[in-house]
Structure 1
Amino acid sequence: MIEILAISGSLRAASTNSALLTALAANAPSDCRVTVYDGLGRLPIFNPDDEGERTPPEASRLIDAVTRADGVIVSCPEYAHGVPGGLKNGLDWLVSRDAAVGKPAMLVHASPRSLFARAALAEIMRTMSFALYEDTALEVVLIGKKPPEMDNILAEPASRLAMREAVSAFAGFIRARRPT
């Protein structure tokens, strides 16, 4: 079983990115389990003085979840041409840990307009030594949709198939990176 942690960079209750990840989890292939991390908004602001024995519980929870996962999927909005502060803060808690080093990661998108954030996030994650999977891009356009509309789009057979195929391809990338 491939264990994948999904992280939404949005804290909004009706987030298109969170809806996409929830649908990804529901449509994952049978050999994959996708768990959506829900603690981004509870993380304290990163402070290197709070690492080690002083690491806050929610930061420890995130670090442990990333460490245990076989791979990480991230979906995030673009704020002012950048990565949302909450997501960057979560990534900062991982910087001095081994959790991200060599960890397979994939970016998925709920908007075709997040080009600056995509590039910035990919650069941040590469710098942190995530093994970024870029062969298959999943984009399900949900921008500007209300929850019932999002649900309808995500339930469409083509959307479900695209999600399943993207996770399956990512799982193949994870398997190929495992030591033999």
Structure 2
Amino acid sequence: MKTLIALSGSLRRDSANTALLRAALALAPPGVRVVVYEGTPMLPFFNPDIEADPPSAVRELRALLSAADGVIVASPEYAHGVPGAFKNMLDWLVGCAELGSKPVALINTSARAVHAQAALAEILTTMGWRVIAAASPVIAVANRGFDQAHIAADPALAGPLLMAIGVLVQADADIDAP
């Protein structure tokens, strides 16, 4: 069983990014489990003084990601950047060597959100994660009011999402191959 952790950059209740990630959970093929991480709002502000002995919420996040075979990221763009709470979560992960080479699908829910997408690719690459370009499509669901059921049922939206999951799982398998 392959486990993919889905990270949404949005705290919004009706977020298109979170809906897309929940659709990934519903669409996951046999042998693939998608877990949508919901703990971003509970993380304290990053503080290097306590990074070596972080709060339990941070330890739980690190353990969840360490055990994962890959990561799916979908994030909105705010003022040409990454949302603050999401960047805070990533800051807690920067020093985690065990997360190096983690394959990532970086899905963009808005074709206009190029600045945050580029920033996220840079941040994740700097962290040592491998952004898999072939697993990083634009799936334009932002500002369209689609919920996870609609996304999962629409072949034009579900198809690229399934492709991203398949490529991400294969990228992990390629790491594990001798």
Q: Which one is further off, 128-137 or 113-122? A: 128-137
Which residue is equivalent to 2:27? 27
- Give the TM-score normalised by structure 1: 0.92
The change in CA–CA distance for 1:36 and 1:165 in structure 2 (over 3 A counts) is same
The answer to whether the 8 A contact 1:75-1:109 is kept is yes
The answer to whether the 8 A contact 2:105-2:164 is kept is no
Shift of 1:153: 4.1
Which residue is equivalent to 1:156? 154
- Give the TM-score normalised by structure 2: 0.93
| 2:87 is the counterpart of 1:82 | no
Measure, in 2, the Cα distance between the counterparts of 1:17 and 1:170.
18
Measure, in 1, the Cα distance between the counterparts of 2:30 and 2:66.
22
Cα deviation per residue 1:17-70 (whole Å; 9 max; x = unaligned)? 0000000111012121110000001100000111223x1111111111111101
Q: Structure 2 stretches of 5 or more lacking a match?
A: none
Query: What secondary structure sits across from 1:4 in the alignment?
Result: strand
Which residue is equivalent to 2:173? 175
Matched residue type, 1:172: Q
Cα deviation per residue 1:68-105 (whole Å; 9 max; x = unaligned)? 10111100000110111111111110111123211111
Shift of 1:147: 4.7
Q: How many residues align?
A: 178
Query: What secondary structure sits across from 2:104 in the alignment?
Result: strand
Query: What secondary structure sits across from 1:91 in the alignment?
Result: helix
Matched residue type, 2:30: S
Measure, in 2, the Cα distance between the counterparts of 1:113 and 1:154.
22
Cα deviation per residue 1:133-154 (whole Å; 9 max; x = unaligned)? 1123322211212255x64344
Which residue is equivalent to 1:112? 111
| 2:64 is the counterpart of 1:65 | yes
Measure, in 2, the Cα distance between the counterparts of 1:101 and 1:70.
12
Matched residue type, 1:170: L
Q: Answer 1 or 2: which has greater strand percent.
A: 1
The change in CA–CA distance for 1:131 and 1:87 in structure 2 (over 3 A counts) is same
Q: What RMSD, in angstroms, separates the aligned Cα atoms of the two structures?
A: 1.5
The answer to whether the 8 A contact 1:78-1:84 is kept is yes
Measure, in 2, the Cα distance between the counterparts of 1:163 and 1:153.
9
The change in CA–CA distance for 1:51 and 1:136 in structure 2 (over 3 A counts) is closer
The answer to whether the 8 A contact 1:28-1:163 is kept is no
Q: Structure 1 stretches of 5 or more lacking a match?
A: none
| 2:47 is the counterpart of 1:47 | yes
Cα deviation per residue 1:113-134 (whole Å; 9 max; x = unaligned)? 1100000000001111101111
Which residue is equivalent to 2:10? 10
